[in-house]
Chain A
Amino acid sequence: MIKSRAFYMHDGTLSKSVNFDITSGNRSKIVERLIMAVMILCSLVAIAVTIGIVLSLLFESIRFFEKVAMNEFLFGTKWSPQTALRADQVAAEGSFGAIPLITGTLLISFIAMCVATPLGLFSAIYLSEYASKRTRNVVKPLLEILAGIPTVVYGFFAALTVAPLLRASGESIGLNVSSESALAAGLIMGVMIIPLISSLSDDVINAVPQSLRDASLGLGSTDSETIRRVVLPAAIPGIAGSLLLAASRAIGETMIVVMAAGLAANLTANPLEAVTTITAQIVALLTGDQEFESAKTLSAFALGLLLFTITLILNMISLKIVNKYREQYD
């Protein structure tokens, strides 16, 4: 085919250059196969990463569980991960009970969701159902800036502005607010996930067919009645999925809690006290130089495995819900 094209052109140079083209002869098949192979390899990298994560977490965790019983890790209520320098040291054993970390993580994430759910959801409803095109074009990018701010900046803001503010206002009404309270970290984490909730639920609300709205409006209901009784019920599964995704993001968030939450493991449900989270502890455990073999270092991997499992389950459920819902109306 290449030869015949060169024949029509009556152009020696062109036909010569065409011969270098990857379509010429057997070479093309080899090159194309090579390209395909490279592309398949590249897509397999994603699977390799997942396997790598699972294996590395699993192996180090198994080594950790050789030193500390799994029961103690999963159900213990005391977390003080020190390793002994001398045998006769006070509290030489160290205790690795993850319960206070889990409750701390859940407390901060819960506060974050309490902040982000109403704000994100109402923003999404207003933007998709009421706002004019001009407002949308201004407000949506502004909200997305919130998603683009690095989380270190959020942490900085939480630790240096919000936490002292909460402490001062708590003192003025006679409350004792810790300067590393769960409230400050959770509040700012909530602000961080507002855009995630609003943009995901915006997509879901927009996917509800217009015919449902038209029917409801035609029967005489107002805009808000249509939204509350028709659009939202139809969008609920998708919204639930986006909320789960946001929750998993909050649980896995690191920098905000490293900067604004405490490091002492506290088993409490009081948002005014300092609590610590799984991610903050992983960072604290791995900061600085320490021997890799100690239970202290290895416990970071056990915590990582715990975190990975929790977020993976949340993600799987939410992705399934969101995808199923999308197909329903497509």
Chain B
Amino acid sequence: MTNMLTAPSPLRKSRAFAETRFKWFGRIAIGISLAFLFVMVGSITLKGKGALWTSDFAITVDLGPEEVNPNSIDATRFDAVMKKSLRNTFPEITTRKDKKKLYGLLSVDMGFELHKQIRANPELLGGPRKLWFTASDDADILLKGGVDRSLPQANRRISDLEISWIDALSKGGNIRTQFNTKFFTNGDSREPELAGILSALMGSILTLFVCFIFSFPIAILAAIYLEEFAPKNRLSTLIEVNINNLAAVPSIVFGLLGLAMLLNVFGLPRSSPLVGGLVLSLMTLPTIIIAARVALRAVPPSIREAALGMGASPVQATFYHVAPLALPGILTVQLWVWHRHWAKQHRF
């Protein structure tokens, strides 16, 4: 008998094995899910971090009076000045084609950059000066190690000649890598080295602002009504079912609603933050109502009873006592909802 209890029988062994296996299924499932999270965040960080740095070239620019007239700075053709300085830096280049390539070493904004630097510091005028300019995207990628130099010339965006110029600049200490402030202060651009997120960010903030103004009060009032006052009749059941279903309607259907109703029927302007925000607020409404109701439900009934017992009307009890207690919970959820809709795209 003792033997049967202590020695592991084949059945017990297989059951124990099944137990461990089942546990490991769970662990592996969680592991895979989290691995996806880390790989995704990691890959996006790795791919994105390059955008935070930008390369600059130092070019000696002749700012003597025959190039830039100190009395009429704004009338100067700075692009021509820059092109001439580039030619002077590499005097061995003669053909038209190569010269064009040479100008492409710097960003198309080089003239503006020179103008800006002179405006900020007029003392630069008067002679040759070494100034920093933004490198073009192709040169920048090369410096960040994104170009395989062993590839044949025809397979890269940057030719051997251009690489030799950049190497020469690098040898002379004329290249620096800097934090890319333009990324945060510029709008979008066709030139990658000049593109920034500011305009897109402003659009998002404005849209979210409109969304907040509309959805927050409406959703909270609706939640308070449904949770505290609504009689149990067919209308409130209908509203409830409706809200639950709306919460699961695909976002693109809301976009179509915005297109048909707001743009075509009411004639609001296209692409405006107002329309985007309105549609987003309609979209977030059910989610916030559901969450606000959960927060209201969490307020203990004793608060309500105490307020009513002191002679407050139901409306007073709710607005002075119950809602303030539920507010932090509602706000937390609100933040979460926003963060989810932060990057929703719409077709307006």
Q: With contacts A122-B29, A146-B36, A157-B40 known, is A307 near B239, CB below 8 A?
A: no
For A52, what are the chain B residues with a Cβ–Cβ distance below 8 Å? 257, 261
**B252 pairs with A45, CB closer than 8 A:** no
**B248 pairs with A283, CB closer than 8 A:** no
Let me know if B185 is at the binding interface, CB within 8 A. no
**A119 pairs with B15, CB closer than 8 A:** no
CB within 8 Å of A: which B326-348 residues:
336, 339-340, 342-345, 347
Give the complex CA separation of A121 and B29 in angstroms: 8
Count chain B residues whose beta carbon lies closer than 8 angstroms to a beta carbon of A.
Answer: 72
**B315 pairs with A36, CB closer than 8 A:** yes
CB within 8 Å of B: which A151-174 residues:
151-154, 156-157, 160-161
For B16, what are the chain A residues with a Cβ–Cβ distance below 8 Å? 222
Q: With contacts A126-B29, A161-B43, A252-B253 known, is A228 near B22, CB below 8 A?
A: yes
Give the complex CA separation of A43 and B29 in angstroms: 41
Give the complex CA separation of A81 and B21 in angstroms: 52
Let me know if A102 is at the binding interface, CB within 8 A. no
**A32 pairs with B313, CB closer than 8 A:** yes
9-residue interface stretch from A9-17, A92-100, A311-319: A311-319
**A53 pairs with B226, CB closer than 8 A:** no
For B251, what are the chain A residues with a Cβ–Cβ distance below 8 Å? 252, 254
Smallest beta-carbon distance B277→chain A, Å = 15
Smallest beta-carbon distance B45→chain A, Å = 11
Give the complex CA separation of A255 and B255 in angstroms: 13
Let me know if B19 is at the binding interface, CB within 8 A. yes
B37-63: contact bitstring with A at CB < 8 Å (1 yes, 0 no)?
100100110010000000000000000
**B245 pairs with A319, CB closer than 8 A:** yes
A45-76: contact bitstring with B at CB < 8 Å (1 yes, 0 no)?
11101101100110110000000000000000
Contact of A42 among B15, B30, B222, B340 (CB under 8 A): B222
Which partner residue on chain B sits nearest A47 by CB separation?
B242
Let me know if A127 is at the binding interface, CB within 8 A. yes
Contact of A253 among B221, B250, B261, B265 (CB under 8 A): B250
CB within 8 Å of B: which A254-312 residues:
254-255, 258, 279, 282-283, 286-287, 292, 300-301, 304, 307-308, 311-312
**A130 pairs with B26, CB closer than 8 A:** yes
**B253 pairs with A308, CB closer than 8 A:** yes
For A228, what are the chain B residues with a Cβ–Cβ distance below 8 Å? 22
**B260 pairs with A57, CB closer than 8 A:** yes
Contact of A252 among B18, B36, B246, B249 (CB under 8 A): B249
For B264, what are the chain A residues with a Cβ–Cβ distance below 8 Å? 292
Q: With contacts A23-B316, A46-B239, A319-B245 known, is A300 near B225, CB below 8 A?
A: no
Count chain A residues whose beta carbon lies closer than 8 angstroms to a beta carbon of B.
Answer: 87
9-residue interface stretch from A82-90, A137-145, A177-185, A210-218: A137-145
For A160, what are the chain B residues with a Cβ–Cβ distance below 8 Å? 47
**A311 pairs with B282, CB closer than 8 A:** no
**B225 pairs with A119, CB closer than 8 A:** no
Q: With contacts A143-B34, A191-B36, A308-B249 known, is A56 near B257, CB below 8 A?
A: yes
**A279 pairs with B316, CB closer than 8 A:** no
For A249, what are the chain B residues with a Cβ–Cβ distance below 8 Å? 248
Give the complex CA separation of A286 and B22 in angstroms: 48
Let me know if B27 is at the binding interface, CB within 8 A. yes
Smallest beta-carbon distance A199→chain B, Å = 12
**B23 pairs with A130, CB closer than 8 A:** yes
Q: With contacts A49-B246, A52-B261, A312-B249 known, is A255 near B345, CB below 8 A?
A: yes
**A153 pairs with B44, CB closer than 8 A:** yes
CB within 8 Å of B: which A112-140 residues:
118-123, 125-127, 130-131, 139
Let me know if B25 is at the binding interface, CB within 8 A. yes
For B250, what are the chain A residues with a Cβ–Cβ distance below 8 Å? 251-254, 279, 307-308, 311
Question: Interface majority SS on B: helix, strand, loop or mixed?
Answer: helix
**A123 pairs with B257, CB closer than 8 A:** no
Give the complex CA separation of A109 and B30 in angstroms: 21
Give the complex CA separation of A279 and B23 in angstroms: 38
For B249, what are the chain A residues with a Cβ–Cβ distance below 8 Å? 53, 252, 308, 311-312, 315
Smallest beta-carbon distance A258→chain B, Å = 8
**A119 pairs with B257, CB closer than 8 A:** no
For A198, what are the chain B residues with a Cβ–Cβ distance below 8 Å? 33
Let me know if B300 is at the binding interface, CB within 8 A. no
CB within 8 Å of A: which B299-319 residues:
311-313, 315-316, 319
CB within 8 Å of A: which B218-267 residues:
218-219, 221-222, 224-226, 229-230, 238-239, 241-246, 248-254, 256-257, 259-261, 264-265
For A161, what are the chain B residues with a Cβ–Cβ distance below 8 Å? 40, 43, 47
For B219, what are the chain A residues with a Cβ–Cβ distance below 8 Å? 42
For B259, what are the chain A residues with a Cβ–Cβ distance below 8 Å? 286
**B260 pairs with A43, CB closer than 8 A:** no
For B196, what are the chain A residues with a Cβ–Cβ distance below 8 Å? none
Contact of B230 among A43, A119, A148, A312 (CB under 8 A): A43
The 7 A-B pairs at the shortest CB distance, nearest first, are namely A252-B250, A126-B26, A150-B343, A122-B29, A56-B260, A39-B225, A224-B22
**B residues apposed to A, CB below 8 Å:** 15-16, 18-19, 21-23, 25-30, 32-34, 36-37, 40, 43-44, 47, 217-219, 221-222, 224-226, 229-230, 238-239, 241-246, 248-254, 256-257, 259-261, 264-265, 282, 285-286, 289, 311-313, 315-316, 319, 336, 339-340, 342-345, 347
Q: In the complex, given contacts A56-B257, A198-B33, what are 9 additional A-B residue pairs having Cβ atoms less than 8 angstroms apart? A: A42-B218, A46-B222, A56-B261, A59-B260, A121-B29, A146-B36, A154-B40, A194-B33, A258-B345
